[in-house]
Structure formats: C-alpha cells, structure tokens
C-alpha cells in the first residue's frame, strides 16, 4: 500500500521485522522502522479518507470524522480468519443489543501464548545405589516404576527414596553427576517465576537427533523450565543462533524445519480429500 498509494518503499528486511520487539530498549534501527511504519500508516489513512470524502478546490471544509468513522467501523479490529462480512454482522448485532438496552459482552483480546505445564516437572525423589549412594533425583512416576518392576524398594517417604537392588551401569561422577544429584526447583531459570512454566530444550531437536546415542540416552540436563515471556525471548535468540550456524557450517534448514506449521481443520481436510478424488 505504501508503494502503490505513496510511492514509498519501506524497509521490510525480515531480520529487522522479526527482531526482538519485546525488548525493554529498542535499538536505533527498530525505532526508525517503527516510526516509518506509523508515519506511513497515517499518510495512507489521510489519502484514503480524502477519497471517501472528496472536497473541491473552491470548497475547503473540515472532514466529518463522525461520518468517516461510521463508514470505517466494519473494518476495525477485523481478524483475518473472520473476514469483513462476519465483522459487519457482529457490529449490527452489537448495535441491536444497545438499542434493546442489553449490554454486549466484549471478548478479551487474544494474544500469542506458549503451552504451559499443568503440574510440576520436578518431584525430586531420590534414587540410590545398593550401597546407599545417591545416584540422581527422579520424578515420582519413575520411582514407582522401579518398585513395580521389583528393581528397587522404598526406604523413605519424605522425600520419596528408592534404593536399587542391582548395581547400576554408572554412578554420579564429576560436575555432571552432581547436577543430577541436586534437587531442582520448579521455577523459571531466568527470572525465577514459579507459574506458569514450560519446558525448554536448550539443544533443538533437529540437532539432537543427529547426536550419538551416548549423548541422547538418559540425559536431560539441556531441558530447563522457563516462563512464557523468557521462553519467547529465548526462541528469538535461538533463531539467530540457528541462522548463524546454518551459514557458518553451510547447513541450511530443510523445508520441514523452516516451514511454518499450520493447524488443519477436519472439515477442510475432508474437502481437500474430496477435491483430490475429483482430480484423479
């Protein structure tokens, strides 16, 4: 629209448009980008409004913004999937409710969200070797599994502690071993927030799947807890690092890794299948 109406070419470089816009302090390029976007939007509005309410050269009069607002109201806050016609119908229903003296309920604005956990990730149950040495902390479900499989017995309930009746293949050694021995808090590792939380894979799955088995089996030290805000920010930095590694190692993303994921509706899936059948 800026190009067609104002003959202005805006800088829409994806690195800038997809940068961290939720940062507390924006950099100079971000400020210029946002300022240009806002200014161009005002200029486009001004030009289109003058087409809606044309005035002659000899008759200079102020624009009737009440009239303009009434004509533009069906387009306000239209969500893409709802479309213009649905929004018009919604506005008419709202007007009818006001006339009838009813209060229409305004739906809260939906924002982006990251799925969060409904229960704690860490139960901090203890798993011991036959001689009583602490091997690691595990969740209650895994502790019960050892008992159900007759691989260990409960020796304490506070905290739940299971002692194995066989010699494990490995024991806690060095810094890595101490990490698995320490109890872990159910809180964001960045800001300390306790709720809501979600799991964060520090090593992305598309990289982890290429690791040797010894680096993937029974290892979870790259899985951390983050609150939605910190999780979203970390994803932005992840993308920067992945892009840098792709260029540095000459390993571009595959089509599946770079493609945008969509939610497929069952009704549309049936229509799509029927269309394929007709084409065949």
Dihedral over Cα of 269, 275, 278, 280: its sign: negative
Instruction: Kindly tell me if the per-residue pLDDT of 98 is higher than 90.
Output: no
- Which tops the pLDDT comparison, 248 or 273? 248
Mean of all residue pLDDT scores within the chain: 76
Lowest mean pLDDT of 14-28, 29-43, 59-73, name the range.
59-73
Q: What percent of the chain has pLDDT over 70?
A: 69
Q: Which one-letter DSSP state was computed for residue 217?
A: T
| The predicted structure's pLDDT at residue 76 | 65
| The predicted structure's pLDDT at residue 93 | 54
Q: Which one-letter DSSP state was computed for residue 190?
A: T
Note whether 224 and 184 are within 8 A (CB). no
Q: What is the DSSP string of 231-278?
A: HHHHHHHHHHHHHHHHHHTT-PPPHHHHSPP-PPPHHHHHHHHHHHHH
Please give the distance of CA 126 from its chain centroid, rounded to a whole number: 33
Q: Is residue 98 classed exposed, middle or buried when 0-12, 13-18 and 19+ CB atoms within 10 A define those classes? A: exposed
Pairing, β 125-128 against β 160-164:
parallel
**Half-sphere exposure at residue 145, Cβ-oriented, CA atoms within 13 angstroms:** 7
pTM over 0.85: no
Nearest to 201 by CA among 174, 219, 213, 179: 219
- Which tops the pLDDT comparison, 114 or 127? 127
| The predicted structure's pLDDT at residue 210 | 83
Q: What is the pLDDT of residues 157-213, one digit of tens each?
A: 988 999 999 988 878 788 878 888 888 889 999 999 888 888 888 888 778 888 887
Confidence grade of residue 71 (pLDDT, cut at 50, 70, 90): low
């Amino acid at each position: 629209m800026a190009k067609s109406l104002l003959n202005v070419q805006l800088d829409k470089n994806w690195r800038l448009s997809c940068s961290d816009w939720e940062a507390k302090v924006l950099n100079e390029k971000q400020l210029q980008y946002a300022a240009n976007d806002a200014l161009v939007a005002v200029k486009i509005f001004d030009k289109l409004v003058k087409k809606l309410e044309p005035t002659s050269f000899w008759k200079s009069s102020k624009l009737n913004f009440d009239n303009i607002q009434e004509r533009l109201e069906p387009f306000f806050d239209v969500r893409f999937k709802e479309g213009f016609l649905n929004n018009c119908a919604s506005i008419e229903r709202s007007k009818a409710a006001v006339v009838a003296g009813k209060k229409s309920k305004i739906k809260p604005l939906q924002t982006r969200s990251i799925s969060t956990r409904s229960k704690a990730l860490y139960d901090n149950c203890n798993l011991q070797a036959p001689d009583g040495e602490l091997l690691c902390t595990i969740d209650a479900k895994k502790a019960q599994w050892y008992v159900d499989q007759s691989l260990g017995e409960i020796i304490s309930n506070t905290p739940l502690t299971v002692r194995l009746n066989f010699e494990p293949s490995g024991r806690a050694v060095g810094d890595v071993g101490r990490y698995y021995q320490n109890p872990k808090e159910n809180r964001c590792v960045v800001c300390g927030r306790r709720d809501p939380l979600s799991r964060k894979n520090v090593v992305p799955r598309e990289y982890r799947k290429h690791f040797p088995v010894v680096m993937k089996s029974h290892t979870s030290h790259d899985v951390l807890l983050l609150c939605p805000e910190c999780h979203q920010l970390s994803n932005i930095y992840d993308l920067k690092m992945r892009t840098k590694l792709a260029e540095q190692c000459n390993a571009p993303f595959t089509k599946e890794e770079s493609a945008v994921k969509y939610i497929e509706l069952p009704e549309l899936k049936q229509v799509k299948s029927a269309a394929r059948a007709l084409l065949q």
